[in-house]
Structure 1
Amino acid sequence: MSKMPFLPYRNNPTIDKYFMFSVGDLVQQRRRTEPARPIQRLGPNLFAANGIAVLIRYANDKELRHLEQHKYRRCYYLIDDDLKNLDTDDYLPIDYRFRLQHFHDTSLSRILELATDVITPNQRILTRFPDHRHHLLNPSHPHFSEDLSHFDKTDQIRILYSGTRSHYQDLELVSDVLSEIAAANPAVQITTFFGRHAPAALKGKANIVHRKQARWPDYQKVMATERFHLALAPLIEANFNLGRSVNKILDHAAFGAAGCYSSIDPIKSHISDGINGFLVPPCQDKWLERMKDFLKDPKGAKMVAAEGIALARKLADPQQNRAFWTQHLDLG
């Protein structure tokens, strides 16, 4: 099998969480062949071992040409978003939706002609690919908070919204709620990663901080070092959201926070309300009520955070994903 030129490719969250966190030590990192690392990286999104290819999320033209020119025994395609109905579903920001639609219209059909198997974290997505072999795989994460001592100090109560711009309408669902909570509770500090894109209702508040969306390596450092009491994942019941993964459970566990989620799939099937997270119907009144309840006893959420971390470890064990790739790449 001929090799494409080696480049020090940057990983993105999808590549790390579904692949590199579990088998990164088996991926060749240098120009020369490394027997202890049987997986070749052939492009930013493309990997191969033992005549089997793995394509993760996207593909550039060079990667597609390589797949077309080489006869792999199998080609696994991993996709973690439901791209159906992008043209009619206005849930996503228009620029983000257009980028996904362009990928859907220009590259996805070529990828599916080459792929033998589709891997996703969500059964709903698998139904979009009836002509391929199916596999379910959760994202993984190597580190979750070991220390919950921040719950013993509630002079400042830290609340996190970690969603990116694709979650703009989800944040808008609770923006008035968060504005009211911040105004009534000076000890509360709310943090987002929306920067200048934050909803108007959340701007100009001294105790609401809007950081710029962090680069993935920087965001990992933030997860490793900063701690929050409560982390929010309000989700509108839109097609795109119903096809998401359990990723927010993992993020919240990394931050050591009790997670608060809209009671929709796929999250609700994993959360026992008040035990390993909080479930809230996707409406403003219910979110306001639940957050007021939390603020009455923030220390009481410590056990919820601990159980959420235990859940994340179960859902996102890198060793489980390593076993998956070892089997499907014939790594023995």
Structure 2
Amino acid sequence: MPGPLIVEQLPNPTTDFFIQPLLNTLGVTPERVGLGEPPPVTVLEGDSVIFVRYLSPRWRRWVEANKDRLGQIIFFMDDDLFDLKAHAGLPLHYRWKLYRLAWRHQQWLRKIGAQLWVSTPWMAEKYADWNPRVLQPGTPYGDPQPLKTLFYHGSESHSDEIRWLYPVVEAVLKQEPTLCFEIIGDSRVHSLFSALPRVYVLHPMTWQAYQALLSHPGRTIGLAPLLDNAFNSARSYTKFFDITRAGAAGIYADHPVYQSIVRHQHNGLLLPMDQQLWVEAILKLSRDDLYRQRILKNTGTPL
């Protein structure tokens, strides 16, 4: 299968459990592109395309314009996307999505001679007239790579700090694959960080639930940015205790709120609100275990 192009709505488990393991066994490296992205301008002779679960009119037009040059045209599904009766009981918005991106394209797929790949023998039997191929799932998980958790647990009153942190988190996740980021927030926070890899957005919770959360081990670096404004002038340094309780080394804004509890490079880092300095400090802390452990050990040491 020369030069396969995988078209998927977003990076997703379907591709990673079914399509990628097959291509790995074939020694083939695909190009993965989003369903909402523009199709490629040029097509090499014999290129194949695999649509994972979904299709769109723009991609149909692209296939029709390049059909003479394309190799295999494949549609893969790991749910019964082509039977509206099977969708009964699903949320209405999801049923509409399945109709719009899958069901209504099946006749076109048959017309152009697309191959059907499915995930189970049950679906292969149901669509036997299409002569589908059954793919066995494979694990997308390689050797476990321990991740270090970077976190910021600010409430909605810290919306300015959350926005300020975005480019910091974006930069460190790009440069350090062993880091993940945890933040508490609502749908707006989720939307803001949704494009970044290894980000976990936790729903706001009660004080008792938050205390229980901090008691679970695994957090590495806690962040406490604080912009210089009138509202923040009234705050206290309680986040120092949250970060310490989580078993993490902390990076704090060099602000009067934290200057009374944190001694720079002793029991935490005090940094001006310069995003590049925060990126550099996070990377250093994440990569230097002894440095981080020394700071954490000193969090119980009075100034």
TM-score of the two chains, using structure 1 as the length reference: 0.45
TM-score of the two chains, using structure 2 as the length reference: 0.49
Larger radius of gyration: 2
